Amino acid sequence: MKHIPVGVFFLALLFTAGCSRQAAAPQGSPEAATKGGRGRGGAGRGGAALVSTATVTATTVPVEIRAVGNVEAFSTIRVRAQVTGQLTKVYIQEGQDVKAGDLLFLIDPRPYDEAIRQAEANLARNTALLRQAEANLKRDQAQEQFAGEQAARYQKLFTEGVLSKQQTDQYLSDAAVRKEAVRASQAAIESAQASIKADTAAISNAKLQRSYCEIRAPIGGRTGDLLIKEGNLVRVTDAELVTIRQIHPVFVTFSAPENRLPEIRRYMASGKLVVTAAPPGDTAAPENGTLSFVDNTVDITTGSIRLKGTFPNAANRLWPGQFVNVVLRLTMLSGARVVPVRAVQIGQDGEYAYVVGADRVAEMRPVVTGIRVGEEVVVQKGLELGEVVVTEGQLRLAPGMRVTTRGGRGS
């Protein structure tokens, strides 16, 4: 018979004694509780899972669309020269606020003043020619009348045999000449009148060109960089002198998913929709505006629709080109059932939540959620007001398990 080493014999005895003590531990003892607690990783006394809970409540929540938008000037005008000349005076500075009609630039007006004086001189000359033609017409009409009467009288005497045919023909010819002189005078009057009209048009055009020498602001707004300085020669073909952007009001352009378009149009039919915009990092209250534009097509590359809000921007918080956080409020949903976002879990069959009944037993229930508002989410189906849901500790649960709570909203 082989001898067993003494060390191995004592190790076997210790292992057998330990197994016997574990098997003999009575149910409900500290050892049994410790064993049960380790079975689910954090269960409470008596095998109950330790969780946090909250109650399903009813509240009024806003139905909103959140997006990142871009500020656009309400109107942008690129001021250009409409006549050629030397830029003799600049009345503004870069980044200055201007009002509609303010004088911005002056182009040398002297050549255009001379053009006006020349056109006025032509008008005076042709006006004098018209008066002369009118006087000639009156003279020729009087002579025509006298010559016609003479010709008629001598024609009668010729018929009676008193005068010769030669004398009669002479008076008839003179009457015909006077008649043609009247026609010539009438033509001279018409020519002078046409010249006067042309001179009047030339004066108007010269004054118009002269007015282009004074470049005024077509809109109120803020000026940008001055691209041409005082003293330079300005041509019609040159780039703009300055750009004016109207920032009272301003537009904020943003996009919304195309599946929200029917909803947006439905609420727009009921009245104006409020849009708020806030620059990133700005802790002040957002600027308020109204939805003023919905694009006529959906962007097929992004599946979104472009929207635009109009903002008064009285405090100049919104600046063209700036990115802002935009919230479009569609309506207020009253009596909505809400729970904390962390109460809703996602499984293979969709969203679900653990509901704790009066008997402290967990029930896994499928839910349908709606919009999210901060740290809460609207539950459209699956939960009733006043029910208690698990917000923390879902990993320790299984349907039908008992739970014990450690605090939380409504726990």
Q: Does domain 41-56+344-405 bear CATH number 3.30.465.10?
A: no
Residue 44 has pLDDT above 70, yes or no: no
* The token pair that represents 309 in the structure block: 């809000």
* Residue that is written with structure tokens 């002369």 in the block: 132
Distant-in-sequence, close-in-space partners of 339: CB < 8 Å, separation ≥ 6: 54, 56, 57, 353, 376, 377, 379, 383, 389, 391
Lowest mean pLDDT among 166-175, 233-242, 294-303, 384-393: 166-175
Q: What mean pLDDT comes out for the span 292-298?
A: 95
Handedness of CA 301, 307, 312, 314 (dihedral sign): negative
| Residue among 199, 214, 234 nearest 115 (CA) | 199
Domain ranges (residues) in the chain? 41-56+344-405, 78-107+213-243, 110-210
User: Rounded to two decimals, what is the model's pTM?
Assistant: 0.66
* The token pair that represents 405 in the structure block: 């709570």
- pLDDT tens-digit map of 6-31: 444 443 444 444 444 443 333 333 33
Q: What are phi and psi of 193, to 5 degrees?
A: -65, -40
Q: What are phi and psi of 68, to 5 degrees?
A: -105, 125
Q: Does domain 78-107+213-243 bear CATH number 2.40.50.100?
A: yes
Beta bridge partners of 214: 106
Please give the pLDDT value at position 408.
Answer: 47
Domains 41-56+344-405 and 78-107+213-243 share a fold: no
- pLDDT tens-digit map of 99-144: 999 999 999 999 999 999 999 999 999 999 999 988 988 888 887 7
Read off the pLDDT band of 366 (50, 70, 90): very high
Please give the pLDDT value at position 202.
Answer: 95
Lowest mean pLDDT among 55-59, 154-158, 185-189, 333-337: 154-158
Q: What mean pLDDT comes out for the span 145-161?
A: 73
Please give the pLDDT value at position 154.
Answer: 67
